[in-house]
């Protein structure tokens, strides 16, 4: 893979661990976990890897302010604010306004951290986020703040490329640790698609047989496949990987969308408890709880054969556990 300019902010390599008790409990395939919840940047998560490349690009362009956008609960915005603080850059986050009367900032586990990190927050009514993001960028530009725009989820080719390099990191760990073999499957939460696009490019570059199955958090399968294949091809161009990706090469399961984005259902609650009580590992209600719910359900349906190795790639999000709307339901 063609190297890219990079800064070092993530704690890498993230740990790779067996989940023996969960494997026994579920009576299924051999389960491992890759701990990208432990990337170290203000409580960690998958956006930290992407920011290593996005920040390098921003700094090379003389940026002085990072601007990005997301949901009230955005883990991407939290990690971007932390990266900005570490590099002495300004940070403006365009966050979607709480939609309903009863929805409050206490419904976010990240907003406190955004504040502590010194980010400026611009609220956008639902449906106007793109417009307000553009407006915020132009205002900052005119004011001479040298803004640099990071897309939703950090998911452009530069950000997504981080996950191609993450596949390489895993391959190197496997050659030195006790694991010795690539997993048959890697399961993870997929949303803006950057993580999955990077995984696909990395798989092609290293020519590994592992299948990367994204559990969709908020979108239908065909839309995911189209967007992710396009992004994977951009990552491949950037990293000089010759192979092209077609929509049908993108493995997505959209059967766990439940009541929609951020709506924690019974399956997510059960998955969070199972990981906590068998492995001492904390998932989150929005992303990894849903992906793990999918994994557990697929194991129950004998989707994997019992001698296969399945790696759950933890993408972070843990601060959401402390948002009132989830915490109170998890205590029930």
Ligand X SMILES: *Cc1c(COP(=O)(O)O)cnc(C)c1O
β-bridge mates for residue 80, sequence order: none
Sheet containing 90-96: order of strands: 120-124, 90-96, 65-70, 147-149
Taking CA atoms, 277 is separated from 24, 138, 271, 281, in Å, by: 13, 49, 10, 8
75 contributes a contact to ligand X by CB under 6 A: yes
Out of 158, 195, 216, 225, which residue is the one contacting ligand X (CB under 6 A)? 195
CB 77 within 8 A of CB 120: no
Quick note: the x/- pattern for ligand X over 258-297, rule CB under 6 A, is --------------------------x--xx---------
Out of 153, 262, 289, 294, which residue is the one contacting ligand X (CB under 6 A)? 153
Residue 74: active-site member: yes
Kindly state the smallest distance separating residue 303's Cβ from ligand X, in Å: 21
If we measure between CA atoms, which residue out of 250, 246, 238, 234 comes closest to residue 1? 238
Out of 90, 183, 193, 294, which residue is the one contacting ligand X (CB under 6 A)? 193
Kindly state the smallest distance separating residue 192's Cβ from ligand X, in Å: 3
225 contributes a contact to ligand X by CB under 6 A: no
> Which of the stretches 19-27, 104-112, 304-312, 314-322 binds ligand X when contact is defined by CB under 6 A?
314-322
Out of 14, 23, 68, 155, which residue is the one contacting ligand X (CB under 6 A)? 155
Give the pair of three-digit tokens for residue 160: 């997504």
45 contributes a contact to ligand X by CB under 6 A: yes
Q: β-strand 65-70 against 90-96: which pairing, if any? A: parallel
Task: Tokens 């409050």: give the residue.
Answer: 104
Contacts of 43 (CB under 8 A, 6+ apart): 78, 113, 316, 318, 319
Out of 14, 23, 38, 46, which residue is the one contacting ligand X (CB under 6 A)? 46
**List 20, 74, 191, 229, catalytic entry:** 74
Choose between 28 and 193: whose C-beta lies nearer to ligand X: 193
Contacts of 12 (CB under 8 A, 6+ apart): 39, 49, 169
Residues that bind ligand X (CB under 6 A): 45-46, 75-76, 153, 155, 189-196, 284, 287-288, 315-317
Q: Which residues are catalytic?
A: 74
């Amino acid at each position: 893979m063609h190297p890219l300019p990079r800064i070092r902010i993530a704690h890498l390599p993230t740990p790779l661990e067996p989940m023996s008790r969960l494997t026994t409990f579920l009576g299924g395939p051999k389960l491992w976990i890759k701990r990208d919840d432990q990337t170290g940047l203000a409580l960690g998560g998958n956006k930290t890897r992407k920011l290593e490349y996005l920040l390098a690009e921003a700094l090379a362009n003389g940026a002085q302010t990072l601007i990005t956008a997301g949901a009230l609960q955005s883990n991407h915005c939290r990690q971007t604010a932390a990266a900005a603080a570490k590099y002495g850059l300004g940070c403006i986050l365009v966050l979607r306004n709480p939609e309903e009367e009863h929805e409050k900032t206490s419904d976010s586990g990240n907003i406190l951290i955004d504040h502590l990190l010194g980010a400026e927050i611009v609220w956008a009514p639902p449906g106007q986020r793109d417009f307000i993001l553009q407006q915020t960028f132009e205002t900052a530009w005119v004011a001479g703040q040298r803004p640099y725009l990071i897309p939703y989820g950090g998911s452009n080719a530069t950000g997504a490329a981080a996950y191609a390099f993450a596949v390489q990191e895993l391959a190197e760990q496997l050659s030195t640790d006790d694991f010795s073999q690539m997993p048959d499957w890697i399961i993870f939460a997929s949303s803006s698609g950057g993580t999955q696009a990077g995984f696909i490019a990395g798989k092609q570059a290293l020519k590994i047989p592992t299948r990367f199955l994204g559990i969709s958090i908020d979108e239908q399968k065909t839309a995911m496949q189209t967007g992710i294949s396009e992004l994977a091809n951009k990552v491949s161009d950037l990293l000089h990987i010759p192979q092209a990706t077609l929509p049908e090469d993108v493995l997505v399961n959209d059967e766990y969308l439940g009541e929609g984005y951020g709506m924690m259902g019974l399956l997510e609650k059960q998955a969070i408890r199972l990981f906590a009580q068998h492995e001492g590992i904390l998932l989150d209600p929005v992303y990894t709880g849903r992906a793990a719910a999918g994994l557990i359900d697929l194991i129950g349906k004998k989707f994997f054969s019992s001698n296969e190795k399945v790696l759950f790639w933890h993408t972070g999000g843990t601060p959401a556990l402390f948002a009132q709307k989830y915490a109170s339901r998890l205590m029930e």
